Structure 1
Amino acid sequence: MKTIKKTFNIIKNQLFWYVIFISLTDLSLYLYGISREQRRDIMSVITEIFVVAIVTNYILTIIKIQKLSKINDYRKDVILPIATSEVEKEYQNILNKTVNSEQARIDKINSQRQEFQDSLSMWTHNIKIPITGLQLILDDNPTYKDILVAKNKVLQIQQNLTAILGYISLSEGNNDLLIDRVDLNELIDEILKRNAWDFVNKNQHLIYNHDLPTIVTDKKWLEILMEQIIINANKYTPKDGTIKIYSESKERFIVIEDSGIGIDSGDIKRIFENGFTGKNGRQNMNSSGLGLYLANQIAEMLSLEIKVDSKKDSGSKFVIEYK
């Protein structure tokens, strides 16, 4: 119905111009002294030609509008009409490329949205655990030991908040950089001070000689990156274990090495995937699979690389170096 209406409007427009053309032609012939009979014969021939032309144009217009209507509703599962010229073929190629590009963009957005929802859901679950623990402690008459445990729960909440806020900021493209000279010793001191209870609670031996270099990078993002790796080392190193922080060279400017449970060989290639916790994570209630993913994303942004050397039951070594 729409096709017929569009075609009728086109023909109506053509008839308007035909009437004007015939009137002007008849007037011109009259001024040249052509008789009425001759003018009528000439007008008859012109009319016949016009009728043939308008019928032909009508048919071609319907075909063209039908093609355009198919293109207008084009989706990947719709077959385009057969191209009858090189121009139509080129238009169809452009259309296919545009549709595929747009679909790829939509798929990427949907994937990112789902990834974000999954991460937020996991984070919400993880933050409920220390909050529930705090509520149970505060409901009774807390002892000094209970207060120390409560501090640990608060620290877990802070760590989870840091991770999720960093993740949200990256997801929204808020990756503003302020490049400056960064003293790694000061940066690591801040992280260790903030998370000191975790090391004290597990009686871990921290070997750190304050011999790290000063580098040029973004302090805020590097601090988030380093904190996630140090928290990870603490989390998977048992009581009385050892964690070392040192530098190997200017290029491999910081190393975090622990005597923890190590990483299973089948998991090591996937530890930087969002939400991946592996075999170790299933044994740890605080594992979200977000920390190392966030660290790796930040490393990419800062043109750094995180290399991991680890074996099951033999500890892990995380090296941050320039690409």
Structure 2
Amino acid sequence: MKEISTWAVGKQYLQGHSKGILLYCIFAGVFALVFYLYHLPVEAVLYAVLLCVVLVLPVLTVDFHRHYQRYRVLRDLQKQITFSLEGLPEPKGLLEQEYQELIAAVYRDKIGLVSQADNERSDLVDYYTLWAHQIKTPIAAMGLLLQSSPSAEDDRSTAQSMEHNSELAMELFKIEQYVEMVLQYLRLESPSSDFVLKRYSLDVLVRQAVHKYAKMFIRRKISLDFSELNCDVLTDEKWLLFVIEQILSNALKYTREGKISIYMERGSAKTLVIADTGIGIAGEDLPRVFEKGFTGYNGRRHKKSTGIGLYLCKRILTKLSHTIVIEAESGKGTKVKLGLDTVDMVME
């Protein structure tokens, strides 16, 4: 909020009283003209004008001081007007009273609209949360059906049907991941996000994520170069695991061949690096990869990006007091660095 100087307030005050000042000057001029036409001493008029100025100046000074105080109150009120109308100065006249009643009416209408929007959003979040939980049941059932299908050793099975089942299982896994992303998005947007900070072994968290995507590693014939991390971090297990899984998912999605490396950065005790040999990221897209809904060149070309994954990662890591940096070059792979240091936090 830009502060206005006292000089600017005074200028506005004089402009507001310009009609009265103009009338005063006109009346003084009329008196002077009449005295002049009747050949009376003009000094008497000048003396009267000067005397009036001397008497009016203290009154104007006090009135300007009150005007300036009201201005300060209104400026301060702008900082809390979103929450309450308390503190509005007493109206000086009927016009100001009508203005304040108009402001109060607009404020009540705004509060009503905000409350209605909050209720509608809450209902929408409840619906999608319920949907995401319910859709997990048929997904799990389909997974069990695929697992219980005849094996390759069964004479009734063919290599073609096994390949088909494998494809179905992979697509089902992707659907499950998208549903999980919806749930995490809804939870993160909720004001009561359940963060539980404890010390965890980073090796254990990363191994969980790798194990979850093991079949995708095998199917896409991507090798994994995993170095022992030997690092404990103060974090939330569920949310950090989601971030690592998202980064692994992106690495597998955009890596046709080669490997994915996971290691701790040299010279930095708590910076986890996940690097791949995939298609990389265009230089002009790098500054915007964390924007909500941004898919970039790769997303438009391969039609695989939702523009939500990295946005969620950034928000989650910020809430956990962690950082994320992406280094990439088109056609030469991507390197994601997670800074897992934490600022001082109060742990319950």
TM-score by structure 2 length?
A: 0.54
Cα 1:146/1:109, change in 2 over 3 Å = same
Q: 2: CA distance between counterparts of 1:169 and 1:254?
A: 25
- Tell me what 1:177 maps to: 195
Q: 1: CA distance between counterparts of 2:116 and 2:220?
A: 45
Q: 2: CA distance between counterparts of 1:256 and 1:107?
A: 44
Q: CA deviation at 1:101?
A: 8.1
Q: Does 1:282 align with 2:300?
A: yes
Q: CA deviation at 1:84?
A: 3.4
Q: Does 1:164 align with 2:182?
A: yes
Q: Is contact 1:299-1:305 (8 Å) kept?
A: yes
- Tell me what 1:227 maps to: 245
CA deviation profile, 1:255-313 (whole Å, cap 9, x unmatched): 11111111112211221122221110123343212211111121121111111111111
Q: Does 1:194 align with 2:194?
A: no
Q: CA deviation at 1:187?
A: 0.8
Instruction: Give the counterpart letter for 1:84 in structure 2.
Output: G
Structure 1: state its 5+ residue gaps.
Answer: 1-81
Q: Does 1:242 align with 2:252?
A: no
Q: Is contact 1:212-1:253 (8 Å) kept?
A: no
Tell me the number of residue pairs that the alignment of Structure 1 and Structure 2 aligns.
Answer: 227
SS at 2:172 equivalent:
helix
Q: 1: CA distance between counterparts of 2:333 and 2:112?
A: 44
Structure 2: state its 5+ residue gaps.
Answer: 1-90, 150-156, 343-348
Q: 2: CA distance between counterparts of 1:103 and 1:304?
A: 38
- Tell me what 2:327 maps to: 309
The structure whose RCO (Cα within 8 Å, separation 6+) is larger is: 1
Cα 1:104/1:153, change in 2 over 3 Å = same
Q: Does 1:84 align with 2:84?
A: no
CA deviation profile, 1:233-270 (whole Å, cap 9, x unmatched): 111111x2221111125564211111111111221122
The one of 288, 297, 309 equivalent to 2:315 is 297
Cα 1:164/1:93, change in 2 over 3 Å = same
SS at 2:176 equivalent:
helix
Q: CA deviation at 1:159?
A: 1.3
CA deviation profile, 1:133-163 (whole Å, cap 9, x unmatched): x9xx99x986222222122112111211211
The one of 237, 240, 257 equivalent to 2:275 is 257
Q: Is contact 1:252-1:319 (8 Å) kept?
A: no
Q: CA deviation at 1:164?
A: 1.0
Q: Is contact 1:213-1:253 (8 Å) kept?
A: no
Q: 2: CA distance between counterparts of 1:83 and 1:317?
A: 65
SS at 2:167 equivalent:
helix
Q: Does 1:266 align with 2:284?
A: yes
Q: 1: CA distance between counterparts of 2:216 and 2:166?
A: 11
CA deviation profile, 1:25-49 (whole Å, cap 9, x unmatched): xxxxxxxxxxxxxxxxxxxxxxxxx
Q: 2: CA distance between counterparts of 1:143 and 1:158?
A: 22
Q: 2: CA distance between counterparts of 1:237 and 1:106?
A: 46
Cα 1:267/1:218, change in 2 over 3 Å = same
Cα 1:265/1:285, change in 2 over 3 Å = same
Instruction: Give the counterpart letter for 1:256 in structure 2.
Output: I
Instruction: Give the counterpart letter for 1:260 in structure 2.
Output: G
- Tell me what 1:38 maps to: none
Q: Let me know the Cα RMSD of the aligned residues.
A: 4.0
Cα 1:103/1:156, change in 2 over 3 Å = same
